[in-house]
A and B are shown apart, each in its own frame.
Chain A
């Protein structure tokens, strides 16, 4: 499997937060100037109309003793793939998937079906799915930890955007990179997540946004990474972003230096920190994983190890980039401290885990993964990074991380993109990529010297099965004795 990419986002989606159990419409008032946006909104309107009609009908047909929840994932997306400052592939997709989960007598099953936005197609398909569920459910074993819908929470968030018309994307992006080895992908369009259930909860989240995730390469294969994302295409901001990337590319002009394996003082830029942070969602902050020995934070929870008192990790939904409702329609708190001053303050607990282990749920999703995380900044100013690093490695990005020994928090991965050898506070040369193998208890623990006094937003650019919204907000970190093995 592959990995997530990173860099600085210059234009950020902004929206007000949705309050618990309140109808909250936060439509951003942005003039719709493009035909593309109009078409996207028309398709979304079909989705919403059909979703509402289906929800009304299916929920009114719920029988005594039955519980039903209905979830929607939909998108109208354009993907333009670039290589060598040319177009490799280009196209648009329209997709919608409805998941119906029926619960009865402590049993449950789901059906996932297409939602096309055409009532004549979608309605009979949904009715057939419910009939199929009713036929199956009695065959299934009981689930003592089944979570039934409850509460009356509703929310509605609509974030309109102003994106490039689909036919204008290549011509807007490519002229500025002619003469450069530019590769990457533009992904843009509208996205919907919705939820309704037989207890009366109802949530709607739709947003229009784009991301341009790219790399610029030198002739000998070194590269810088850039990400430009938001809900409005801003030509001036794009030009500024490109200028910044071109400047970084100039630093890679000299041949890379081969660095021997060993331990080096290291600065991890925000893009690299975001990669490390992703590991906290894979056998990390999940209460279920902790209960079953599948978490890297077991040592922290049992107070056998601790992280640096400079390290603070929290969930922060205040920017409204992702839905706050989860798989059960529950609204997560706007902010939840996870690690405070190096101490595990809260794990992520969903309602199922809470039921199984007699805990209190805190709005976590089914996977108990971080959805809108933030590592708080420290005191190191940007201008002092190289001076504070003194002699060691400056890493812009990391690549292909995996646990090499999860119970001890040991992670392996590779350096990637613009990474440099630094001596006496001066960049000497880019480096040949190195493999690292290091415990998070070292790099976020006793070896953590400082974090930068600024954060960067690293947008989520993943598109497995669906385009993903959101991102992470992280500072850079300076650490002592980071371990390189190959």
Chain B
């Protein structure tokens, strides 16, 4: 493909300062079973090419799902006309510095290939999972899903870039719903599609799979007779599967430079973080160390280059609680004059790259899970996200979880249902009083981070240890 794209770009004769071609081929399979009955079986192929053209400081794009030379040339002409027409209104005079020459490759690590299981075998696996989840007549619904995805991208440019990247992805999910009248409780394996990773079937077919599925069903039933989460202010302990959401919404999004620059204000919103905060803002307690790290093997949003050719490296966003740098691409860095990361990412061939998270991870501290709990006289331990809402400045949030345990005198005691908590972002991260050690660190992902105009849903990964926050408002459900 690279050679074909190089031939194509050689045939595009436009008075442009820079031309880039980014082709994407995404092949996915979808398997979903509910109560042991197939709901969705199929495969999709999406392929196309985006041509970007830089003219008079403005980048325009044209995209087509036809890989024929004539279609690519037409897309280039469209991109050129778009850039030319908009150049008198350009927000910033872009140069080729935001599209550097880059050459390289990337491929996801994999042990058991995505086609190692036939369609029938995957369905058999999902049906058996449903049967395992159905531990009681109170379970009114079981479901299990598996999505495989092989995405290849090729990037060439008029200044010599040649990049090939191949992503092998597996997203899995199972869930049980228990009901007793108007009391309905769901329990899943760490939240909706949280088991999203780069790799193959080795990620799902673990020896613990069936025990975990049975326990998921048992906990759904257990929640029916559990007490409501109390309405109080107390210590809140969050498992890594909820820390994923906490990091994503209250650290990742507010640090996106395009939000701070105002690009996103009409849709997802801005940020309480200001351009002058980098290098000085106390974002949280000294225990808080968060990195942008697309180099973690197997994490869902790992890569070697972003979609405009910036080489990906691990960078500290927050170190010992102090804000160091933002999530901004070469374009945002140029516009804002602050350091960023390699994060210009597009959802597919038909969307332009914008500032996105990739993998955002909270570094481990010290202590086992038992060590963290032992020191707490009263608190609530919550697992797995169920509800999420945060304001357009990423300041006031309210999150809910599937499952909780009361902590009394250093021990987990009663199970609690409908656990929720709310706070403001700086107050919350400054209340971080313990960060668990490596044994508590877990890694998850999601394929559904939404942002951008036009809208884009993209993959992100988040790793975190179990964490303890002091004096957080928690509450239960009910009218």
Chain A residues with a Cβ under 8 A of chain B: 1-3, 5, 77-81, 83-84, 86-97, 101, 107-118, 121, 132, 136, 139-141, 143-145, 166-171, 174, 181, 183-185, 187, 213-215, 217, 221, 223, 225, 292-294, 298-299, 304, 399-410, 412-414, 416, 433, 435, 437, 439, 441-442, 462-465, 467, 485-486
Contact = CB atoms under 8 A, between A and B. Distances in A.
Given A96-B65, A114-B65, A412-B389, A90 B448 contact: no
23 contacts: A79-B454, A83-B261, A83-B262, A86-B90, A89-B61, A92-B63, A92-B78, A97-B46, A112-B44, A113-B45, A114-B66, A118-B66, A139-B118, A170-B86, A185-B267, A293-B177, A294-B141, A294-B177, A299-B182, A304-B182, A404-B387, A413-B389, A433-B393
Given A97-B46, A404-B398, A486-B398, A140 B65 contact: no
B263 A183 contact: yes
B85 interface: yes
A88 B182 contact: no
Nearest to A437: B398
A2 B400 contact: no
A110 B453 contact: no
Interface of B: 37-39, 41-48, 50, 58-66, 68, 71, 75, 78-79, 81-86, 88-91, 118-120, 123-124, 127, 140-141, 177, 179, 182-184, 261-263, 265-270, 350, 352, 354, 387-393, 396, 398, 400, 418, 420, 422, 424, 448-451, 453-457, 477-479
Contacts of B124: 141
B389 A463 contact: no
5 closest pairs, A vs B, by CB? A91-B61, A139-B120, A110-B42, A405-B477, A112-B44
A408 B182 contact: yes
B59 A89 contact: yes
Contacts of B60: 90-91
B230 to A, nearest CB: 15
Contacts of A97: 46
Nearest to B127: A141
Contacts of A110: 41-43
A353 B177 CA distance: 18
Given A109-B42, A112-B43, A141-B38, A94 B65 contact: yes
A140 to B, nearest CB: 5
Contacts of B63: 91-95
Given A141-B123, A143-B37, A166 B477 contact: no
A183 B140 contact: no
Given A1-B448, A139-B118, A435-B391, A87 B89 contact: yes
Contact of B85 (A109, A121, A166, A217): A166
B141 A400 contact: no
B32 to A, nearest CB: 11
Given A116-B66, A402-B388, A439 B479 contact: yes
B160 to A, nearest CB: 23
Contact of A433 (B64, B396, B454): B396
A437 B183 CA distance: 19
Contacts of A299: 182
Contacts of A96: 65
A184 B420 CA distance: 33
Given A139-B118, A441-B479, A2 B182 contact: no
Contacts of A140: 38, 41, 119-120, 123
Contact of B183 (A1, A79, A221, A407): A407
Given A405-B477, A441-B479, A170 B89 contact: yes
Contacts of B83: 90
Contacts of B177: 292-294
B125 to A, nearest CB: 12
B68 to A, nearest CB: 7
Given A91-B61, A408-B477, A167 B85 contact: yes
Contacts of B140: 292-293
Contacts of A136: 41, 119
A5 B81 contact: no
Given A86-B90, A293-B179, A435-B398, A109 B41 contact: yes
A209 to B, nearest CB: 15
Contacts of A80: 86
A414 B270 CA distance: 14
A435 B91 contact: no
B234 to A, nearest CB: 17
A185 B265 CA distance: 11
Contact of A404 (B184, B400, B453): B400
B214 to A, nearest CB: 21
Contact of B352 (A91, A169, A213, A400): A91
A434 B184 CA distance: 29
A101 B418 CA distance: 40
Contacts of A442: 479
A90 B82 contact: yes
A414 B184 CA distance: 25
Given A2-B268, A404-B420, A486-B398, A83 B263 contact: yes
Contacts of B78: 91-92, 166
Given A5-B266, A83-B91, A407-B182, 6 more contacts: A1-B457, A2-B450, A86-B91, A116-B71, A215-B265, A292-B140
B454 A185 contact: yes
A431 to B, nearest CB: 13
Contacts of A486: 396, 398, 422, 424
Give the interface centre of B37, B84, B262, B453 by most chain A CB atoms within 10 Å: B453
B404 to A, nearest CB: 14
A109 B44 CA distance: 11
A166 B82 contact: yes
Nearest to B387: A402
Nearest to A187: B454
Contacts of A183: 262-263, 265-266
A393 to B, nearest CB: 16
B42 A84 contact: no
A414 to B, nearest CB: 4
Contacts of A111: 42-45
B455 A91 contact: no
A437 B421 CA distance: 12
B52 to A, nearest CB: 8
A399 B265 CA distance: 12
A262 to B, nearest CB: 15
A92 B66 CA distance: 14
A109 B38 CA distance: 10
A163 to B, nearest CB: 15
A144 B398 contact: no
Nearest to A216: B266
Contacts of B479: 405, 408-410, 439, 441-442
B81 A167 contact: yes
Contacts of A169: 85
A433 B82 contact: no
Contacts of A139: 118-120, 123
Given A83-B91, A86-B89, A463-B454, A5 B396 contact: no
Contacts of B450: 1-2, 464
Nearest to B398: A412
Contacts of A408: 182, 477-479
A446 to B, nearest CB: 11
